[in-house]
Amino acid sequence: MTVTMKGSEVAAAMKERLQREVAELRAQGVAPKAAIVRVGARPDDLAYERGAMKRLESVGIACQVFEFPETIGQKEFEAGFKAVNDDPEIHGILLFRPLPRHLDEEAVKRMIDPLKDIDSMSAPNIAKIFSGDETGYAPCTAEAVVHVLDHYGIEVQGRRVTVIGRSMVVGKPLTMLLIKRNATVTVCHTRTKDLPATCRSAEILVAAAGKAKMVTGDFVSDGAVVIDVGINVDDDGKLCGDVDYDAVAAKASHITPVPGGVGAVTSSVLADHVVRAARYLQGNA
Ligand code: NAD
């Protein structure tokens, strides 16, 4: 029977651990706190913000939103960002990106304290992921995939894993996290020839392409583990992943649903990074 890997189960297990860790920090006089920095008010940012705040607060992490007007100039935004970055009570910063086009995002990536860079936008953090140094913070979604695999006891060492997608947010960092765990990883993208055949050879398939239901039954061999990172809207206006769920679930041994899969774990990873940041900044990592 196919196992549905539920993000809520992974998040519940992480919550217990995080609550314990936050309590330990508080006992040492440290109150973990995150800042969400948002320019403008895009509906998808607001939706993620609500979910992230709820998750952070549920484990005892304080969260403050710093909202800047969409029309803010570079100098003014950098001054505002610097104030958040320099605030000793703030341990982790999540900046919603992309910034409006008139703002220089690269300059902000250079400004952020790497110890507070809980969503992995600074070069030092990215370098750590690519060099296998686990003291950095991986992008939350990429790391959420690893938590899902771990929670359901799926070993990756020595196994053939195919990742569809090579973005800096999901595909590439996830590939590095999997290599660190000794998986044999194939990365597919828009120029990959015969994508279904490449995917069929995988024991574990991760879809992070952002194309509604593109992974059909033809992409999956019997008994494969399938993780769907995609968040898309189908022709009927319903939320769906990159995987054609019913057709693929009929073949897979394990599969994540959308919604309710990887996406439900992302904000727990964010909370985990705030806890780690609070430890680093206190010098007791
Ligand atoms: P992206 O557009 O930056 O990258 C998509 C990648 O997929 C590219 O590398 C591209 O080469 C590849 N790709 C696209 N179409 C393809 C095709 N037909 N065949 C093969 N490869 C193809 O997207 P992203 O930011 O990496 O996000 C990917 C998906 O994950 C999106 O649906 C996004 O909404 C979702 N996402 C989910 C979460 C979450 O919390 N669950 C977080 C971030 C992104």
Q: In the Cβ-directed half-sphere of 23, how many Cα atoms lie within 13 Å?
A: 7
Identical topology for domains 29-115 and 140-263? yes
Does residue 240 surpass a pLDDT of 80? Answer: yes
Domain ranges of the chain: 29-115, 140-263
Asked: is 140-263 a CATH 3.40.50.720 domain? The reply is yes
Confidence of residue 30 (pLDDT cuts 50, 70, 90): very high
Model pLDDT, residue 39: 98
262 pocket-lining for ligand 1 (C-beta < 6 Å) = yes
What percentage of residues in the chain have a pLDDT greater than 90?
98
Could you report the per-residue pLDDT of 168-214, keeping only the tens digit for each? 999 999 999 999 999 999 999 999 999 999 999 999 999 999 999 99
Model pLDDT, residue 283: 80
Average the pLDDT over 103-130 and give the result.
97
Most ligand 1 atoms within 8 A of CB, residue of 231, 242, 256, 258 to mutate: 231
Residue closest by Cα to atom 42 of ligand 1: 141
Does residue 271 surpass a pLDDT of 90? Answer: yes
Model pLDDT, residue 15: 98
Model pLDDT, residue 285: 58
For the chain, what is the mean pLDDT? 97
Average the pLDDT over 86-114 and give the result.
97
Please report the atom of ligand 1 found closest to the CA of residue 164.
21
214 pocket-lining for ligand 1 (C-beta < 6 Å) = yes
Confidence of residue 95 (pLDDT cuts 50, 70, 90): very high
Does residue 284 surpass a pLDDT of 80? Answer: no
- Domain 29-115, architecture per CATH: 3-Layer(aba) Sandwich (3.40)
Average the pLDDT over 19-41 and give the result.
97
Cβ atoms of 206 and 255 within 8 Å: the answer is no
Most ligand 1 atoms within 8 A of CB, residue of 44, 45, 147, 190 to mutate: 190
